[in-house]
Amino acid sequence: MSTGDFLNLHPSELKFQFELKKQSSCSMQLTNKTDQYIAFKLKTTNPKRYSVRPNAGIVLPRSVCNVTVTMQAPKEAPPNMQSKDKFLLQAVVAPDGATNKDITVEMFNKEDKKVVEEFKLRVVYIPANPPSPVPEESEEGSSPRAEDGSHNSSWPEVATRSVEPNEKLSAESRSLILKLTDEKVAALKQTQKLEQELELLRKEAMKGRSGGYSILFLVLIGIIGFVVGYLIKQT
């Protein structure tokens, strides 16, 4: 804010969102801090680039007047986005009851010890789409790493050694597995022995001449076959 004897001016510089081929506007507020009528007039070093509404007017006692400044669509950007344009706001005491129609150029002449208050405002360009910061590690496929060691506290390391299956088992579980394995081997051996005996019984049954003798052998063969089948299912 700029403060004078007649007016308070806010803001103290004109900021425009700069975008090629697009108009931009900003506003400022003139506050009359006196009990008198204050006339104002706004000038610029580059009148073809800007339009001001109103560019001159009366600010009533203890009241506020808003002024809008519009920058025409720029065709190219200035070097380093720096503007050399400036504005000058002049303010003088006007007769009581004065209106915008009563404003003349002579009112702002610094003659006859007339007090003319002046505010100089510079123009500032603000990029409409500022470039976003690029992270240091932006390459595809790169994995984040901490150079100062702070990364390790947030991301715990993953174990690289695989755990063997046997390490997951307790001693009791391993003992039970070994016992069951031994029982399975013994059952297979017993099954093979019974199958051999069954085959011998079948051969003897074929040699038998009497029916009773053959029936007895057939019954034994059936019993042994049932036991063999049961053992096979258990293994």
Q: What is the pLDDT of residue 216?
A: 62
pLDDT at 233: 64
Q: What is the pLDDT of residue 155?
A: 35
**Residue 5: predicted pLDDT:** 94
pLDDT at 170: 62
- How far is the C-alpha of 52 from the C-alpha of 43, rounded, in Å? 9
Q: What is the pLDDT of residue 143?
A: 44
- Please give the chain's pLDDT, 235 residues, in tens: 889 999 999 999 999 999 999 999 999 999 999 999 999 999 999 999 999 999 999 999 999 999 999 999 999 999 999 999 999 999 999 999 999 999 999 999 988 788 999 999 999 999 987 655 555 554 444 444 444 444 444 433 333 444 444 445 566 677 777 777 777 777 777 777 877 877 777 777 677 655 555 566 666 667 776 766 666 666 6
Q: What is the pLDDT of residue 86?
A: 96
What is the CA 14 to chain-centroid distance, rounded?
33
pLDDT value of position 156: 38
**pLDDT the model gives residue 141:** 46
Residue 217's pLDDT is: 62
Q: What fold is seen in the domain 2-127?
A: Immunoglobulin-like (2.60.40)
